[in-house]
């Protein structure tokens, strides 16, 4: 068993899969437009951190760095990375096609977790609500999960074990939580304490995110996800309390409307208007939140290094994305309703 785990955790399987897909490292001396040559110190730091981590030398890795997302599933995945601190596959032998998140650790794959959670929770939530072949829904969910998971190996971001563990963890979480979905939804819509609980919990788990041994995008991305989830919970409560969404006129299961030109135009208009609202709201809210938080923290909003500080990064991202959760799930539907869309 230990040999199997080590093989699944090793970079060789990743390199073999990439080679099967036509990817291979360039011979030394050939010009390349890799991000490492463009960003200098940060890329070199990332390489040193993960090389040290792969060989087990975590002390040296920590000295090289700056010490300082369904939302619950993504938080568990992101936090697990910084607790376990398993490195991403090293290059060589692996070809790295992404660099933004290379400074993060790899176990488990949060992309694999999201690709399991989103389609399968959607399937479970709609299979008794709408009329469609369950087999088709299951096939689509499996296809999404498989393709996204394989893409993380193809890009060289995760080992096979990272991906398998991400899928397994999410499968267990979905199976355990499924019987409580209806009760949770009822509490979220009807209980007056639900918005306070959702917003406070999302802020606390962001503030008390596992301490980083070097700065990466993990804490900020996690804050974005859980705060947006808190804002979405508040939006759900608002929609129900203020009756912003129309109640269905009959009991489920419902027929799925047939695609037609008017329906497609209506969908396109809703999408375009929603995107514009969210984009404008994000720019405004982020600007105000960043300025306010930086002023309270005594740093300049233009100082990108200061934005990595815990007292700056978490509050301004929390304010921005919790507000966007409300904008996306309450404001946009209200505008669509007003415009008869």
Active site residues: 111, 158
- Per-residue tokens: 28: 């030394």
- Which class for 26: exposed (0-12), middle (13-18), buried (19 or more C-beta within 10 A)? exposed
Q: How far is CA 173 from CA 122, 201, 218, 219, 251, in A?
A: 14, 19, 21, 22, 29
Please give the backbone phi and psi of residue 91, each rounded to the nearest 5 degrees, phi first: -125, 120
d(CA 111, CA 116): 8
CB-based burial, 113-137: b 16+ in 10 Å, e otherwise: bbbbbbbbbebeebeeeeeeeeeeb
Nearest to 164 by CA among 14, 328, 291: 14
Residue 209's closest CA among 200, 222, 190?
A: 222
Of the CA atoms within 13 Å of residue 7, those in its CB half-sphere come to 5
Question: Could you tell me how far CA 154 lies from the centroid of its own chain?
Answer: 19
Picking from 22, 15, 176, the residue whose alpha carbon sits closest to that of residue 94 is: 15
User: What distance in Å separates the CA atoms of residue 287 and residue 299, rounded to the nearest whole number?
Assistant: 15
């Amino acid at each position: 068993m230990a040999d199997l785990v080590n093989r699944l955790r090793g970079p060789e399987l990743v390199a073999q899969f990439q080679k099967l897909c036509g990817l291979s490292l360039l011979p030394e001396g050939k010009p390349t437009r890799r991000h490492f040559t463009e960003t200098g110190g940060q890329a070199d730091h990332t390489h040193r951190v993960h090389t040290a981590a792969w060989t087990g030398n975590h002390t040296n890795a920590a000295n090289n760095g700056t010490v300082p997302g369904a939302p619950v599933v993504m938080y568990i995945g992101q936090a697990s990375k910084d607790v376990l601190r398993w490195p991403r596959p090293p290059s060589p032998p692996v070809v790295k096609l992404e660099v933004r998140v290379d400074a993060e650790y790899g176990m488990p794959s949060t992309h694999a977790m999201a690709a399991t959670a989103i389609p399968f929770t959607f399937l479970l939530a709609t299979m008794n609500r709408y009329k469609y072949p369950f087999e088709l829904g299951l096939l689509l969910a499996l296809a999404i999960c498989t393709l996204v998971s394989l893409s993380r190996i193809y890009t060289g971001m995760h080992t096979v074990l990272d991906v398998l563990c991400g899928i397994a963890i999410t499968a267990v979480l979905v199976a355990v939580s499924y019987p409580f979905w209806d009760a949770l939804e009822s509490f979220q819509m009807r209980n007056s304490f639900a918005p306070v609980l959702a917003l406070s919990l999302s802020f606390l788990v962001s503030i008390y995110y596992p301490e980083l041994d070097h700065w990466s995008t993990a804490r900020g991305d996690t804050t974005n996800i859980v705060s947006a989830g808190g804002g979405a919970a508040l939006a759900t409560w608002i929609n129900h309390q203020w009756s912003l969404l129309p109640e269905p006129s009959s009991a489920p299961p419902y027929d799925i409307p047939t695609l037609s030109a008017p329906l497609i135009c209506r969908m396109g208009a809703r999408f375009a208007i929603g995107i514009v609202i969210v984009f404008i709201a994000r720019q405004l809210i982020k600007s105000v939140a960043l300025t306010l938080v930086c002023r309270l923290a005594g740093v300049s909003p233009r100082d990108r290094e200061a934005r990595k500080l815990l007292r700056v990064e978490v509050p301004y991202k929390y304010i921005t994305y919790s507000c966007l959760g409300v904008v996306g799930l309450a404001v946009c539907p209200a505008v669509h309703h007003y415009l008869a869309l």
